[in-house]
């Protein structure tokens, strides 16, 4: 007879064991190119963040249960992972996935498709489907992200909404980041059909909008013009807070699956969630009038989409911890960061202003060097399609362009701010930030 082995070891570990683990971790990091000076400085910053990290985990737990409830309500089963082809008629998995998204975002309907190629495409589909010649778009939060310039017609581009007689107007935020209430009131005219609200900062150093502030803005607009469509570009914001913009009055909420809601598993895709009328209108632009959402094969992506959504709350939590860590580390070095080290978070993006291009480039080189894919590649600024200035992008990702994975990018223009986001795990996000500091140190741009 074999007796069960038992152990009297308890936690916390003995001091000798703790020291051994710390030494092993230091050796692991040093093998990956981190100096002892960078590691000690970074770990000191991390030690002060445990309360913040615990708060992030609590939000992730709430969102995890929300997604789980949506999946259980819609009786997700293995049959929903089956692929469809051709027209995609009666794709049970696709239709169930969209019902899950609608329930998770507390909306009437959702469109979740691999044929939506990116966040900009999702926004274009939503805009094109719900606007007609003579309508006007209003942005009450300043100019949207650069890749929408051609879509709206800010930059003269073939096929833009401007070519179809749809005009655009914006009201800039006040210098302190507040809403220009009187400016918005004056801009809401008879032709204003849709208000677009970009939650995240884009290539700007303004504050990201909280769900509460978005709700306040929508309420103000609806009191003036109840029939206007309020659409939120939710990219980088999903599952950062317990509520989404659709919980506070947004008629449409739009995003990319290779950002937060795809959980790092979605290889492509986007979503449009909101009121059924507006989602249906978008579906007629995504496919064609008369067919709408009835066509569109899932092509075997359903399992990745379901599983990615399930993992998304915890993946987003890891990315958020990385953003908080980055803010505190670079703020301690004297750089201007948005949000700052103690502010509440409303998206996964962390902006760090270096004031000169060398800082941006060195930072991005560090992020690339920390990647699991293409870590040996050196990122360089280049003229990317859709951008008015050279852009540098660091992203050694499993999915090209996936910004829920460890990544950083920036336009090479004043004030020379870099925008960091992602990390499929907290540990990878942490290492990426430490490696960015290592490259800054090696370039003689900082001392620690």
pLDDT digits (tens, 9 = 90+) for 389-400: 899 999 999 999
Lowest mean pLDDT among 10-14, 123-127, 356-360: 10-14
Give the residue from 209, 237, 236, 206 showing the smallest Cα distance to 415: 206
The pLDDT tens digits of the residues spanning 184-200 come to 999 999 999 999 999 99
pLDDT for the residue numbered 11: 59
Whether 4 shows a pLDDT value over 60: the answer reads no
The pLDDT tens digits of the residues spanning 288-332 come to 999 999 999 999 999 999 999 999 999 999 999 999 999 999 999
What is the C-alpha separation between 66 and 310, in angstroms, rounded?
10
Q: Which residues contact 13 (CB under 8 A, 6 or more apart)?
A: 21
Q: Which residues contact 232 (CB under 8 A, 6 or more apart)?
A: 196, 197, 198, 199, 214, 245, 246, 250, 252, 253, 254
Whether 64 shows a pLDDT value over 80: the answer reads yes
Give the pTM. 0.93
What is the C-alpha separation between 229 and 236, in angstroms, rounded?
22
Structure tokens at 387: 């951008």
Please state the rounded mean pLDDT for residues 122-139: 98
- What strands, in cross-sheet order, belong to the sheet with 407-411? 336-338, 350-353, 417-421, 407-411, 391-394
Give the residue from 271, 274, 255, 225 showing the smallest Cα distance to 107: 274
What is the C-alpha separation between 215 and 234, in angstroms, rounded?
13
Whether 2 shows a pLDDT value over 60: the answer reads no
What is the C-alpha separation between 76 and 312, in angstroms, rounded?
17
pLDDT for the residue numbered 387: 78
pLDDT for the residue numbered 1: 42
Running DSSP on this structure, what letter comes out for residue 183? H
What is the C-alpha separation between 74 and 99, in angstroms, rounded?
7
Structure tokens at 285: 């632009």
Domains of the chain, earliest start first: 35-62+311-442 (3.90.1150.60), 83-299 (3.40.640.10)
pLDDT for the residue numbered 8: 52
Beta strands in 133-203 (DSSP E): 136-139, 167-170, 192-198
pLDDT for the residue numbered 443: 96
Distances (CA, A) of 210 to 40, 216, 234, 251, 350: 34, 10, 11, 17, 15
Reported confidence tier of residue 9, pLDDT bands at 50, 70, 90: low
Q: Which residues contact 105 (CB under 8 A, 6 or more apart)?
A: 244, 246, 253, 273
What is the C-alpha separation between 82 and 91, in angstroms, rounded?
9
Whether 122 shows a pLDDT value over 90: the answer reads yes
Distances (CA, A) of 432 to 68, 367, 368, 445: 30, 5, 8, 17
Structure tokens at 222: 């609806």
């Amino acid at each position: 007879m074999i007796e069960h082995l038992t152990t009297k070891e308890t936690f916390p570990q003995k001091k000798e064991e703790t020291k051994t683990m710390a030494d092993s971790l230091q050796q692991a990091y040093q093998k990956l190119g981190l100096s002892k000076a960078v590691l000690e400085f970074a770990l000191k910053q991390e030690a002060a963040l445990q309360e913040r990290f615990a708060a992030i985990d609590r939000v992730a737990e709430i969102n995890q249960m929300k997604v789980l409830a949506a999946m259980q309500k819609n009786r997700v089963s293995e049959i929903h992972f089956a692929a469809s082809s051709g027209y995609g008629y009666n794709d049970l998995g696709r239709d169930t996935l969209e019902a899950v998204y609608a329930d998770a975002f507390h909306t009437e309907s959702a469109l979740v498709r691999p044929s939506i190629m990116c966040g900009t495409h999702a926004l274009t589909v939503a805009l094109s489907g719900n606007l007609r010649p003579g309508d006007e778009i209003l942005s009450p939060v300043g100019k949207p992200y650069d890749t929408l310039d051609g879509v709206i017609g800010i930059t003269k581009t073939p096929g833009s909404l401007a070519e179809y007689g749809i005009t655009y107007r914006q009201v800039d935020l006040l210098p302190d980041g507040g809403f220009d209430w009187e400016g918005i009131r004056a801009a809401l005219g008879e032709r204003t059909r849709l208000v677009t609200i970009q939650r995240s900062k884009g290539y700007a150093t303004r504050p990201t909008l909280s769900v509460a502030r978005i709700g306040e803005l929508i309420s103000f607009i609806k009191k003036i013009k109840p029939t206007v469509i309020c659409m939120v570009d939710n990219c980088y914001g999903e599952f950062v807070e317990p509520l989404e913009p659709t919980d506070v009055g947004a008629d449409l909420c739009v995003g990319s699956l290779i950002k937060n809601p795809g959980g790092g598993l979605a290889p492509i895709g986007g979503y449009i969630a909101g009121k059924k009328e507006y989602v249906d209108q978008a579906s007629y632009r995504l496919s064609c009038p008369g067919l709408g959402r009835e066509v569109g094969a899932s092509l075997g992506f359903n399992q990745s989409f379901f599983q990615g959504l399930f993992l998304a709350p915890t993946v987003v939590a890891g990315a958020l911890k990385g953003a908080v860590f980055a803010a505190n580390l670079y703020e301690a070095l004297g750089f201007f960061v948005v949000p700052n080290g103690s502010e509440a978070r409303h998206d996964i993006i962390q902006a760090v202003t270096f004031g000169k291009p060398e800082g941006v480039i060195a930072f991005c080189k560090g992020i690339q060097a920390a990647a699991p894919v293409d870590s040996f590649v050196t990122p360089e600024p280049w003229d990317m399609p859709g951008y008015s200035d050279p852009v540098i992008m660091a992203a050694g990702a499993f999915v090209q362009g996936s910004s829920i994975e460890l990544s950083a990018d920036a336009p090479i223009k004043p004030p020379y701010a870099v925008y960091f986001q992602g990390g499929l795990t907290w540990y990878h996000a942490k290492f990426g930030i430490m490696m960015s500091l290592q490259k800054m140190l090696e370039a003689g741009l900082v001392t620690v």
